[in-house]
């Protein structure tokens, strides 16, 4: 049986996870660009909590699915790259320059979060299949 080359085995899951992350950002957050001004003068937004929760749940489902198929490395790289790129593209028009901190936090959280979810899914499904974690 012919073995996949390591670069090919990592490239497809990475690209798919990146595309899912960018599409999820666009679907959940990309369309809402205005801040809400309340009667007392306070400003919130542009995102509502349900939008961020929806984005996170979408990415958790994607990372769990990829992890259950033993694609931890690809989903971690792809999710972090896609989400970081989407955040940068969405926030880079901020003249204060503080968007860089937010983008850095997105990069860090998406790396750690997607790794945790994909690794857990790989571990759980590995045990269910009788393979155990590797």
pLDDT of residue 102: 95
pLDDT of residue 130: 52
Cα(24)–Cα(27) distance, integer angstroms: 5
Q: Label residue 36 by pLDDT band (50, 70, 90).
A: confident
CB burial class (10 A; 0-12, 13-18, 19+) of residue 129?
exposed
- Report pTM: 0.82
State the chain's maximal CA–CA distance in angstroms: 69
Cα(126)–Cα(87) distance, integer angstroms: 33
The mean pLDDT value of the chain amounts to 88
Tens digit of pLDDT for each residue in 75-113? 999 999 999 999 999 999 888 889 999 999 999 999 999
Measured in residues, the chain has a length of 134
Residue 133: count other Cβ atoms within 10 Å of its Cβ.
11
Query: Cα 128–129–132 angle (5° rounding)?
Result: 80
């Amino acid at each position: 049986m012919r073995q996949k080359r390591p670069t090919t085995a990592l490239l497809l899951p990475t690209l798919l996870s990146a595309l899912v992350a960018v599409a999820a950002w666009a679907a959940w957050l990309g369309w809402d660009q205005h801040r809400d001004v309340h009667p007392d003068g306070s400003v919130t937004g542009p995102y509502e909590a349900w939008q961020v929760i929806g984005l996170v749940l979408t990415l958790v489902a994607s990372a769990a699915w990829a992890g259950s198929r033993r694609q931890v490395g690809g989903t971690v790289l792809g999710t972090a790259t896609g989400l970081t790129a989407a955040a940068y593209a969405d926030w880079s028009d901020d003249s204060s320059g503080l968007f860089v901190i937010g983008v850095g936090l997105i990069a860090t959280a998406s790396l750690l979060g997607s790794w945790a979810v994909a690794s857990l899914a790989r571990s759980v499904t590995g045990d269910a299949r009788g393979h155990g974690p590797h």
